[in-house]
């Protein structure tokens, strides 16, 4: 059974606090007719600080889409390898042991995907599958876990690498003054994460079931308006209320597995904002403390898009109190409105000492290459 191992997470070195964000908004948008509303919404996010790729003075400038995308590519190539190496170390694997790389990002564009560059530069095999996911936004972290699980079920013994790379600050649009965009300027941060799903062995969450759910006719609630200046984030005011229709989907998936979603041992939830977590606590019937890992990510890093669920999972590992066979739920939410949901049990079993050949599996190929 596939095991989601300890993630590696990194954030850029530049920091902007909540108070600095509010002061900038007051200064830059002092004549905005809805400034007080925007300030209140930003303050209510609960974000204490965020990490951003560039100093704030450079972040506030818009040099053009071409330069921003070049900056995205350069930063990804500079920073992603380190989180991959750490994630592989956590899983006790080497690049040659990986059979598929699932790369998720919604804040820059490359073709070929960064996966091709990683295979060439980091020693992954040339037959490593590539699965870049670019249009699921914040839900992509959960989707990556689920697609890795699917792959490991389809190819017993295979290993999957998940990479999330989000530089949300490169999407700042100085001329976009709608309230939803102003809110996003105070909510989103930059972050990178990687994690391995081992087909055999490993310590972490043994994945048992996954599912997806789309709330009908909500595809324009979270969206990008693509213009000459790049990605303009669109956020409908109805988004904070989406947990009411999504909570039943989480309950239903748990029910299919014979579990009660209100009575699990841990929860790894995408922290889109405090209202999301508060409402999910209410509609699932779990105490607010159950989402402490997600709240910590939101407070310390802001919404780091697809990387949120991996950072929240990293905090579960850091806490170190999860008992063997504890049952848990992971969920990422994003454009669609889409939910990607996973169920699994904590496994503290030691990592398997080496590859175990399974007829027709990817392990046979790896074992042959090592001889």
Which tens digits make up the pLDDT trace of 323-333?
A: 999 999 999 99
pLDDT at position 315: 97
Burial class (CB in 10 A: 0-12, 13-18, 19+), 92: middle
pLDDT at 85 over 50: yes
What are the pLDDT digits (tens) for 86-122? 999 999 999 999 999 999 999 999 999 999 999 999 9
Angle at 235 between CA 108 and CA 131, to 5 degrees: 35
State the Cα–Cα distance between residues 190 and 172, nearest whole angstrom: 12
What are the pLDDT digits (tens) for 217-272? 999 888 888 888 888 887 788 888 889 899 999 999 999 999 999 999 999 999 78
Report whether 320 contacts 313 (CB < 8 A): no
Residue 349 pLDDT grade (very low, low, confident, very high; cuts 50, 70, 90): low
Report whether 134 contacts 69 (CB < 8 A): no
Asked if 138 is an active-site residue, the reply is yes
pLDDT at position 225: 82
Report whether 191 contacts 311 (CB < 8 A): yes
What are the pLDDT digits (tens) for 18-44? 999 999 999 988 889 888 998 998 999
pLDDT at 370 over 70: no
pLDDT at position 350: 55
Integer CA distances (angstroms), 270 to 25, 308, 331, 338, in order:
26, 6, 6, 12
Mean pLDDT in residue range 355-368: 44
CA 365 to chain centre: 30
- Set 5, 106, 138, 168: catalytic member: 138
- Over the chain, what is the mean pLDDT? 90
State the Cα–Cα distance between residues 307 and 90, nearest whole angstrom: 17
Q: What is the pTM of this model?
A: 0.90
Q: What percent of the chain has pLDDT over 90?
A: 71
Residue-range domains of the chain with CATH: 3-198 (3.40.47.10), 204-347 (3.40.47.10)
């Amino acid at each position: 059974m596939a095991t989601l191992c300890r993630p590696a997470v990194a954030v850029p070195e530049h920091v902007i606090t909540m108070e600095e964000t509010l002061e900038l908004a007051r200064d830059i948008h002092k004549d905005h007719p809805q400034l007080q509303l925007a300030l209140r919404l930003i303050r209510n996010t609960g974000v204490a600080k965020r990490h951003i790729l560039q100093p704030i003075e450079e972040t506030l400038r818009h040099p053009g889409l071409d330069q921003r995308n070049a900056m995205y590519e350069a930063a990804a190539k500079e920073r992603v390898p380190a989180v991959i190496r750490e994630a592989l170390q956590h899983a006790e694997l080497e690049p040659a042991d990986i059979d598929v790389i699932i790369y998720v990002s919604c804040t820059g564009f490359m073709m070929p995907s960064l996966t091709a560059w990683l295979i060439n530069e980091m020693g992954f095999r040339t037959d490593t599958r590539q699965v870049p996911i670019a249009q699921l936004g914040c839900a992509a972290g959960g989707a990556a876990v689920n697609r890795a699980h699917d792959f490991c079920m389809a190819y017993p013994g295979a290993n999957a690498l998940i990479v999330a790379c989000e530089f949300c600050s490169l999407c700042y649009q100085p001329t976009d003054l709608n309230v939803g965009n102003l809110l996003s300027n105070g909510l989103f941060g930059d972050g990178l994460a990687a994690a391995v799903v081992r087909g055999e062995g490993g310590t972490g969450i043994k994945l048992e079931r996954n599912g997806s759910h789309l709330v009908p006719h909500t595809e324009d609630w979270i969206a990008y308006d693509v213009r000459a200046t790049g990605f303009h984030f669109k956020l409908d005011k109805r988004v904070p209320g989406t947990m009411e229709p999504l909570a039943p989907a989480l309950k239903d998936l748990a029910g299919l597995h014979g579990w009660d979603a209100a009575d699990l041992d841990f929860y790894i939830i995408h922290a889109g904002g405090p209202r999301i977590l508060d409402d999910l606590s209410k509609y699932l019937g779990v105490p607010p403390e159950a989402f402490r890992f997600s709240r910590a990510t939101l407070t310390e890093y802001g919404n780091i898009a697809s990387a949120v669920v991996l950072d929240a999972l990293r905090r579960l590992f850091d806490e170190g109190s999860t008992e063997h066979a504890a049952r848990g739920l992971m969920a990422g939410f994003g454009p669609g409105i889409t939910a990607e949901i996973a169920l699994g049990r904590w496994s503290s079993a030691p990592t398997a000492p080496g590859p175990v050949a399974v007829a027709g599996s990817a392990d046979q190929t790896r074992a042959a290459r090592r001889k």
